[in-house]
Chains A and B, each alone.
Chain A
Amino acid sequence: MKKEYYYNNSDNVADELYESLNELLPVASVVHIALGVMALVLVHRSSEREWNERFAGLLISWMMVILGVQYVFSTLIDYRIEQLGTDTVSVFFTYESIFYSWMTYGQSALESAFYASIAILPLIYPYPLIQKKNVVKICTIFVLSVALILVPIDIFTEFSFRGVKYMLIWSGYIVWTPVYLRFLFGELLYEEEGARAVSSVTALLMLGAYGQSYIFWLQNLTGVSTVYFGRWVVEDFVAQSFLSSSVSMVQLALTGGTFLVLFLGESWRAMSRGFSTLNAVVSLVFVIGVLWYLLTLVNYGDAESCVLTACQAWDENFVDWYVFTFQVARFLGVPLIFMFILLNYNMVDTAAEGSKMITRIMVLLLLLVATSSLIEMIQIILPIPEMITSALFAAGVVVFIGWEERIMDQIITETSSAAESVKDLVGVADIRIQDGEYRFFSMAMVAMVCYALLIAVLFHSMGIHS
Chain B
Amino acid sequence: MGSEEEEKMEWGLADIVGEIFSIRESNIAASIAVAVILISGGSNLYGWTQTEYAQAKEAATDDQWLIEFNISVSTMVKEETWQDEEKKVIEFYMDEFVFPDGYYIGAVKVIVKPDADSNGTTLDPIAQCDSIGANIRNDGELAAQWDFEDNVLSGQDSSCEWIILSLQTYPGYEGDDVNSSAANEFQALLPWSESGWGEGVLAVEVELDVNTVEELGPVTQDDDEDITIEVEVSGFIASAMLIN
Contact = CB atoms under 8 A, between A and B. Distances in A.
Interface of A: 3, 5-6, 127-129, 131-133, 177-179, 181-182, 184-186, 189-190, 220-223, 226, 229-231, 233-234, 239, 242, 245-246, 249-250, 252-254, 256-258, 260-261, 265, 306-310, 423, 425-431
A223 B40 contact: yes
Interface of B: 1-2, 5-11, 13, 16-17, 19-23, 25-26, 29-30, 33-34, 36-45, 47-49, 52-53, 55-57, 59-60, 62, 181, 183-184, 186-187, 190-191
Contact of B44 (A250, A258, A260, A309): A250
8 contacts: A178-B21, A181-B30, A185-B23, A234-B59, A253-B36, A257-B34, A307-B56, A427-B2
A129 B191 contact: no
B56 A425 contact: no
A242 B53 contact: yes
Contacts, number: 159
A234 B84 CA distance: 63
Nearest to B23: A185
A88 to B, nearest CB: 15
Contact of B33 (A230, A249, A258): A258
Contacts of B181: 3
By secondary structure, the B interface counts as helix
Contacts of B62: 3
Nearest to A307: B59
Nearest to A222: B40
Given A177-B33, A250-B45, A253-B44, A430 B9 contact: yes
By secondary structure, the A interface counts as helix
Nearest to A190: B23
Nearest to B19: A426
Given A129-B16, A234-B59, A306-B59, A226 B23 contact: no
A233 B186 contact: no
B33 A257 contact: yes
A261 B34 CA distance: 10
Contacts of B57: 233, 239
Contact of A260 (B22, B36, B41): B36
A260 B33 CA distance: 8
Contact of A429 (B10, B47, B48, B187): B10
Contacts of A426: 1, 19, 22
A181 B9 contact: no
Nearest to A253: B41
B23 A309 contact: no
A431 B41 CA distance: 39
